[in-house]
Amino acid sequence: MKDDPTEPNKISKLYKQVSTEEPSGKLDEDILAMAREHVASKNVKKQASHNMRWFSYLTAASLLLVIGLILPVWEDNGSDPLIISELPKRSELEQVSNLDLNEGHQIEKSEDREAPELSEFSRLILQLKTLQEYRKTITQKGDLAENEILDHYQKIDADILAKQNALLSILKMNPRYISDVGIKEPLQEVLTEEQYNSLF
Amino acid sequence: MSSPSDEELLGQYIAGSVSAFESLYRRHKASLYRFILRQIDVNSAEEIYQETWASVISHAQELSTKEHFKAWLFAVARRKIIDRYRHLSVVSSVIDIDESIDDHTTTRPFDSESELGRAKMAQDLLICLNKLPVAQREVFILKEESGFKYKEMATVLNIGVEGVKSRISAMYDNLRKCLAVAWTDLGDK
């Protein structure tokens, strides 16, 4: 009996013999190049996203650092940001701490230049002057409610008192400052009469 | 050591391995190319082939690892072929035998054992394949080129397993009839 060439298995075998086409080398190359390009572009995106993440971390860290540096200045100058904005900056205070506080009179003598108390003393006087000036103008702050003004007064008064006490303790520990003629006038300006008299 | 599965290679490619893609490509390039080529002209086949791999390249990430990569690959190619047919307005479920096909068939007796005879048989097979309804031709090529089982073929063709079986059965009926006519001389010899 002769085999039937139209049997599915025979057809399949014949088909496999004839079906041998393959894509051209150029097609292969184009497709593989496409894949390589896609991976490369993905890597570039991944790297960019990695860099962006690090940039965000660094920015956040820098921000925290800046906040960490600014906060102590705020606390130093008073707890209320409204007052702080009116006060001279630390750098400005330190700049003037070595200068004459009273019409060209030189408080600082050469041997005093290294005494930290004197620098603190000058700074306190400047701060007290500024605070007291500010206290006089507080009622002109039109955008503040009455209770806010009172609250403000209390804070400023407490701050002034703390600074006056600090000033007094420096002077008591360094009586030689008191003997300086030029210091009397600024002290009279920033201390109460009672405080001033207690020094002499 | 067994070679990595398609899905493993795809995963490696997604992770950035170009060589994994190359392996995947080499594994399926011939069968996919012929699957497309048997159903459309050469120029369109090359375009569709390239577009299919472009889809793999750009949409690999969206493929779940649970999916059967090869079935997905052939399904993408099939959709592109259908789109092309729609575009060309070549929508015909049955391709009629036309006179030009008869020019390729010889009435001269031939020997199935000779080189020339085998070439003639192969040529007749391809001609008969082209005479099949599109859906039947498609199922034959898919079966022969991909080596898919019924279930996988059903996935690619988006029909049920029973539908695949009935299509295959009808396809062989028509193909055998066509080949029987073409190979009459072979039978006589």
Query: What is chain A's alpha carbon radius of gyration, rounded to the nearest angstrom?
Result: 40
Helices A25-77 and A90-97 cross at an angle (nearest 10°) of 50
Digit-coded pLDDT (tens) for B148-160: 999 999 999 999 9
The beta-carbon neighbor of B49 closest among A23, A35, A36 is A23
Is the confidence at residue B128, as pLDDT, over 70?
A: yes
H or E segment and range at residue B141? helix B134-146
Residue B51, pLDDT score: 95
Contacts of A167 (CB under 8 A, 6+ apart): A121, A124, A125, A128, A187, A190, A191
Which candidate in B41, B179, B185 is best for mutational testing of the A interface (most A CBs within 10 A)? B179
Is the confidence at residue B100, as pLDDT, over 50?
A: no
Please state the ipTM of this predicted complex: 0.78
Instruction: Compute the average pLDDT of residues B12-27.
Output: 92
The beta-carbon neighbor of B183 closest among A5, A24, A38 is A5
* Position with higher pLDDT, B38 vs B111: B38
Task: Tell me if chain A has a CB within 8 Å of the CB of B57.
Answer: yes
Task: Tell me if chain A has a CB within 8 Å of the CB of B181.
Answer: no
Which pTM does this prediction carry?
Answer: 0.56
Alpha carbons B148 and A98: distance in angstroms, whole number: 92
Instruction: Compute the average pLDDT of residues B118-132.
Output: 88
Residue A64, pLDDT score: 84
Place of tokens 């090869």: B70
CB atoms B186 and A5 under 8 Å: yes
Residue ranges, chain A, pLDDT below 50: 1, 81-90, 92-114
For residue B186, list chain A residues with Cβ-Cβ distance below 8 A.
5
Task: Tell me if chain A has a CB within 8 Å of the CB of B21.
Answer: yes
Residue A50, pLDDT score: 76
Task: Tell me if chain A has a CB within 8 Å of the CB of B185.
Answer: no
Taking a contact as any Cβ pair under 8 Å apart, which residues of chain A between 15 and 34 contact chain B?
15-19, 21-24, 27-28, 30-32, 34
Confidence of residue B105 (pLDDT cuts 50, 70, 90): very low
Residue A82, pLDDT score: 45
Task: Return mean pLDDT, chain B.
Answer: 83
Alpha carbons A42 and A132: distance in angstroms, whole number: 64
Residue B170, pLDDT score: 94
Alpha carbons A128 and A47: distance in angstroms, whole number: 55
The beta-carbon neighbor of A28 closest among B17, B18, B29 is B29
